[in-house]
Every structure is written in C-alpha cells, then in structure tokens.
Amino acid sequence: MSNFRLDNKVAIVTGAGSGIGKSIALTFAANGAYVHVLDIQQEQAETTVREIAAQGGRAMAHHCDVSDQAAVIELANAIQAQHHIHILVNNAGIGFVGNVEKTTEADFDRLYQVNVKGVYNCLYAVVPHLKVNGGGVILNMASIVASVGIPDRFAYSMTKGAVLTMTYSVAIDYLQHNIRCNCISPARVHTAFVDAYLAKNYPGQESEMFEKLSKTQPIGRMGKPEEVADLALFLCSDAAAFITGCDYPVDGGFIKLVP
C-alpha cells in the first residue's frame, strides 16, 4: 500500500477548515504529507492543524481568500520558497439554492468569484511552481451538478460545470510538464453545511428532511467526507500515476441509477 502514501509530499488544500476539505487535509497528513491548510476562516484552519498535530502529522494554517488573486499568488510563492509544492487540492467553494429567477446578479457574481475565479486563481498561482518542480498533481472539487440537472441549483451548477471543464483543459495543457489534473464530483455529503441548511430552512423538521435528502441517493444515505478524502488520497498518490483528465462521481449511484 506504499503507493497510496504521500511521504515527503507537500500539499495545499483550500477550504480545509471544515467539511470535505478538512477530511482531505487530515487524510493526507495521516499518510505522510505536509499539508498547508488554507481557509478564509483562520480559526477553523488552525483547528484542522491542531487535529493533524494531535495525530502526529505536519501542517500549517493560512488565512486565504481564494477570490483575491494577488493574495493567492503571494501565499503560493511563500509556500514554494519554504519547500517545493507537489499537490494542489482546489476544494474551497460556497453553495447557493435557487433557479435563475431567484438568483440575483450579486448572488451570481459571489458564486463566480469563489467557485470559478477561486479555482482559476489557485491554478494560476501554483501551476508555474509545479512546472519548476518537475510536475505534480491537481485535484479539483466539482459536483454531480456539473453532469446532471438538479432543481434550484442554477448558479451553483454553472460554477461546477466550469470546474469540470477547467480540469480537462489543465490536464491536456500540462501533460508534457508531468502535471496530472483530475476532479471529484460528490453528490450530497453530510457536512456542517447540510446541517446549517436544514436548520435554517426546515426548523423543527431537520430529522425528517435529512432522511428525505439522504434517500435521494440510490444507495440510501449521504456520503461521508472521509469517503471523498479516501478517493482524493488515491488520485493524488503515485497509485494513480496513469490517471489524468478524469471526473470521479462519488454519488451513491445518483448519476447512473436515478431515472
């Protein structure tokens, strides 16, 4: 199983203060990586780093607004100056519920700035370093909404469709530089975001609605952040050395099995 480890690898994980990103950071660190934990919430990033340290891993927390290109470039340069970057995980993102009529221009712009431009900014800042370092791995977090229609996800779907196609573009453009680029497309994963959404929109009915949403996946439940993290570990490890330009649904059968 040594091919699945990330010993002596340096990984940047955005949005790693909570949810899927936190699980990825913990999993990478547990498998030997030095993880740079980036999040717009500094305290959450530091909490992730403390949990990694408690498990014997190595990590550093950074405040980072991925929509701010200058700040992202400065941070990437600082990390590279400290040690070579090997892995970039573009996980930071925000959600939004609404069809086109319920999506204001401000909503649309906010989603674009974080979910699309944020990924672009990190790619723009890190790819030159990966080239200098002789290659590396990029993993983007897309969503099943990039491949199938989901009600009331107009702007969010737009952003994740962009992430999917950016993945393909980077994969083909940097083959000669030994840079692999893939993405993961989760369906519903049980994170704090889900709990907050249910508490806000269905007060007093959280358990009922949680069960209803869970059953929209054919497998009968939501995914776990750790399950996404395990796939991320594989795709960023040497075990996946022959894989690039691919999208991996982690969806409990949703894309293929829902009529």
Catalytic residues: 156
User: Token pair for residue 202?
Assistant: 């269905």
Q: Which residues pair with 138 in a beta bridge?
A: 88, 181
Q: How far from the centroid of its chain's Cα atoms is residue 53's Cα?
A: 22
Instruction: Spell out where 124-230 has E strands.
Output: 136-141, 179-186
The secondary structure of 56-107 as a DSSP string is: T-EEEEEE--TT-HHHHHHHHHHHHHHS---EEEE-------B-GGG--HHH
Q: Which of 1, 20, 2 is nearest to 250 (CA)?
A: 20
- Tokens 């319920």 map to which residue? 102
Q: Which of 83, 39, 31, 81 is nearest to 57 (CA)?
A: 31
Q: Which residues pair with 184 in a beta bridge?
A: 141, 248
Alpha helices in 215-253 (DSSP H): 225-236
Q: Which of 62, 73, 190 is nearest to 120 (CA)?
A: 73
Distances (CA, A) of 239 to 214, 227, 234, 248: 32, 17, 6, 16
